[in-house]
Structure formats: structure tokens, C-alpha cells
Amino acid sequence: MGEIIVLRHGQTEWSRTGQHTGATDLPLLPEGEEQARSLRAAMAGREFVEVRVSPLQRARRTAELAGLTATDVDRDLVELDYGGYEGRTTAEISEELGRMWSIWRDGTVDADEPGESLADVGVRVDRVLDRARARLSDGDVALVAHGHVLRVLTARWLGLPPEAGAMFALPAGRYGILGHEHGRPVLSGWALG
């Protein structure tokens, strides 16, 4: 039985500064490109039967530099829609609200420009996981995407609600391994790279 490798794109300007980056299509910084290249050896030791990537350039470029050839561009792997919080930091949002804001507790609901709910992201990543599970009998599957969407996906792999993604911090340019033990989904490795 294969494993699912979840790989977060390398550093961008906004991931460096802590700005929430959903659909804004930013390129990798030079250090983000180096982070992606540094994953090449770890990825080369696996036989991938499928490599699904987010359509955003930071994920596609990370896959390429890590030595992965995309077999599918998957819109379900795009990052959360942050709505009116796009491009803003947690500190900025918290100051505006007058209390500490957390995407995991409060979501992306901005009255003027609502974003996507964690439940909706959970539905999207469940579809990704269904497609990946169908291929695991043939080998490994790589999913190259973004921090929050991969955290929700990991929670769903483990049978947890989307909000449990709060427990799976995944730095830029790092990867995790979703596997099985005694027939149960497990987290086999995290924040590797």
C-alpha cells in the first residue's frame, strides 16, 4: 500500500511576512526555490503513481523543482479563499476585531467580503483524498499545495473535523507522510525536509 506525500510550496513573499495567501498567485522567493530543490532527494526515493498539484504557480513550481512531474492540476487543492482577509496578517485581523483571531476557530467570515468555510474546504479535500486512495494500491501519491488546505486534508485523512487542522502546522517547503498502520490511516511523518 502506498503513502500520500503532502508537500507545501516553498517560501513566497507573503508566507515570509505571515500574510494570508489564498488565490493571489505569488511566485516563490529564491529561498522558496531552494527549499523546493532540497526536497528532490527525498522525493526521488519514491515511486509516484500520481502527482496532483494546485493550479497556483507557487505549488506548480515547487513540484517541478522537487523533481516531481505533475499528472494532474487539481483545483480542489487550491488554498482557502480568505475573502476580505486575503493579504492580511493574523495580527492585523486581530487588531481590527479587538480580539485574537484564529482561522481554526473563527474562519474567514468577513462581513464585507466573506471567504470559504473550513467545512467547504473539508468537502474539497475529501474529494482529493478519494482520488488519492483509489491509486494507493499502485504506489505513492504526491499532493503539492498550500499550508492551510494541506492541514485540513491531513485532519480529514485521520477522520478528524476540518478544524483539527490547527494541530498540523506545516512550514513552507516541508512535507508530511500520510500512511496506514494495521489498516488505519496514520500520520507517518510531518514537517520533514
C-alpha span between 51 and 3 (Å, rounded): 12
Q: Which residues define the annotated binding site for substrate?
A: 21-22, 58, 79-82
Q: Which residues define the annotated binding site?
A: 21-22, 58, 79-82
C-alpha span between 20 and 73 (Å, rounded): 22
Q: What order do you get walking across the sheet with 184-192 strand by strand? A: 72-73, 48-53, 140-145, 4-8, 175-181, 184-192
Annotation says 182 is catalytic: no
Catalytic: which of 3, 9, 50, 148?
Answer: 9
Largest Cα separation within the chain, whole Å, is 51
Catalytic: which of 33, 50, 79, 116?
Answer: 79
Annotation says 148 is catalytic: no
The residues annotated as belonging to the active site are 9, 79
